[in-house]
Amino acid sequence: MNNRLKQFLTSPLVGGLTVIGLFSGIVYLALIEPQLPPPIKKPLNQPDFVFENVRLSLLDQGEVNWEMDSSKSVVVNDELTELYDVRGRFYRNDRVVAALKSPMGKLNMTRSDMALEKAELVFTGQGRPVTLNADVINWKSDMSQLEGRGHVRIQSDGIQLLGSYFLVDIQKQLLIVSANSSARITQ
């Protein structure tokens, strides 16, 4: 390299200009707004959370009151969760007393109450099974009660009761049916 060029490149003037240029570049980069990609927006009417193959359990003082398995669970808001293809079990003294299935239900996460549509409930006590079907079966958590509304059908041992309402108290092992129910022997 030429001596004059070498002297010029190593001179204090070039070094100072280099430092000033670097400093100016850093200041410029610090002052410009960064170009960020636009935020991802959630489509309207879409849930925040969707879970697949979920098991929900209600515990009371370490004992399981019920368990619900769902193929899909959609958190609608802080209180409401929708459940799809629901299969569940109710317990009393650590034993299964009833099993249920429903294509869809809604669970209030604050009160632990449920509403299950087109549900079937089978009591599996020590005697013969009793099957209860209803348009809607509601679980009232604070009273450990199941309430059936709509087209209600109760079957056991070839006897069928038809009505519009039933109430099952899990703790008392009590079944109450509406006064306008009709009985039919199907054997």
Q: Whole-prediction pTM value?
A: 0.70
Q: What is the pLDDT of residue 131?
A: 92
pLDDT tens digits, one per residue of 156-165: 888 888 888 8
Cβ(186)–Cβ(159) below 8 Å: yes
AA identity, residue 41: K
User: What is the average pLDDT across 83-99?
Assistant: 91
Q: Is 6 exposed, middle or buried (0-12, 13-18, 19+ CB in 10 A)?
A: exposed
N- to C-terminal Cα separation, the chain: 112
Residue 127's pLDDT band (cuts 50, 70, 90): confident
> Looking at per-residue confidence, does 182 or 151 come out higher?
151
Q: Answer whether 109's CB lies under 8 Å from 124's CB.
A: no
Span 34-85, pLDDT tens digits: 677 777 666 667 777 888 999 999 888 888 889 999 999 999 888 999 999 9
* Digit-coded pLDDT (tens) for 143-178: 888 899 999 988 888 888 888 888 888 778 788 888
